[in-house]
Amino acid sequence: MIIDGLTQTAIQQAALRLKRGDLVVIPTETVYGLAADASQPLAVEKIFHCKKRPHSNPLIVHIADVSQLTDWAVAIPLVAYQLAERFWPGPLTLILHKAPSVSDLITAGQATVALRIPAHPVAQQVLRAFGGGLAAPSANRFTEVSPTLAAHVALDEEVLILDGGPAQVGIESTIVDCSGEHVAILRPGMLSADMISEVVGYEVFYQQALEIKRPGQHWLHYSPKAEVVLCDAETVNHMMPLADTGFIVYSVMISTDACIHLSAEPDAYAQGLYAALHTLDKRYSRIVVELPPQIATWYAVHERLRKAAGL
Closest distance to Mg ion from the beta carbon of 146 (Å)? 5
**Nearer to ligand TXA (CB atom), residue 151 or residue 242:** 151
Residue 148 interacts with ligand TXA (CB under 6 A)? Answer: no
Specify which residues 247 forms β-bridges with.
Answer: 259, 288
Nearer to Mg ion, 15 or 273 (CB): 273
CB of 152 to ligand TXA, least distance (A): 13
Contacting ligand TXA (CB under 6 A), which of 138, 168, 192, 245? Answer: 138
**Any contact of residue 116 with ligand TXA (CB under 6 A)?**
yes
* Residue number, 138 or 279, with CB nearest to ligand TXA: 138
Number of residues this chain uses to bind ligand TXA (CB under 6 A):
27
CA atoms within 13 Å, Cβ hemisphere of 297: 8
Q: How many angstroms separate the CA atoms of 200 and 220, rounded?
A: 32
Report, in angstroms and rounded to the nearest whole number, the Rg of the chain calculated over CA atoms.
19
Minimum distance of ligand TXA from residue 172's CB (angstroms)? 4
Scanning residues 194 to 233, which ones bind ligand TXA (CB under 6 A)? 213, 215-216
Beta strand 286-290 with 245-249 is: parallel
Report d(CA 189, CA 171) in Å as an integer. 7
- Minimum distance from residue 142 beta carbon to Mg ion (Å): 8
- Rounded CA-CA distance 192/188 in Å is 7
**272 near ligand TXA (CB under 6 A):** no
Contact flag: residue 33 with ligand TXA (CB under 6 A): yes
Among 39, 40, 68, 110, binds ligand TXA (CB under 6 A): 110
Cα→Cα distances 245→154, 179, 254, 260, 283, Å: 23, 44, 14, 12, 9
| CB nearer to ligand TXA: pick between 136 and 289 | 136
10/90 Cα distance (integer angstroms): 22
Could you give the string, one character per residue 131-150, with x where binding to Mg ion holds by CB under 5 A and - elsewhere? -------x------------
Measured CA to CA in angstroms, residue 113 lies from 11, 25, 77, 234, 282 at distances of 26, 21, 14, 45, 36
* 90, 133, 137, 147: which one binds ligand TXA (CB under 6 A): 137
Task: Build a one-symbol-per-residue string for 57-96: x at contacts with ligand TXA by CB under 6 A, - elsewhere.
Answer: xxxx--------------------------------x-x-
Interface with Mg ion by CB under 5 A: which residues? 138
Interface with ligand TXA by CB under 6 A: which residues? 28, 30-31, 33, 57-60, 93, 95, 107, 110, 112-114, 116, 118, 136-138, 172-173, 175, 186, 213, 215-216
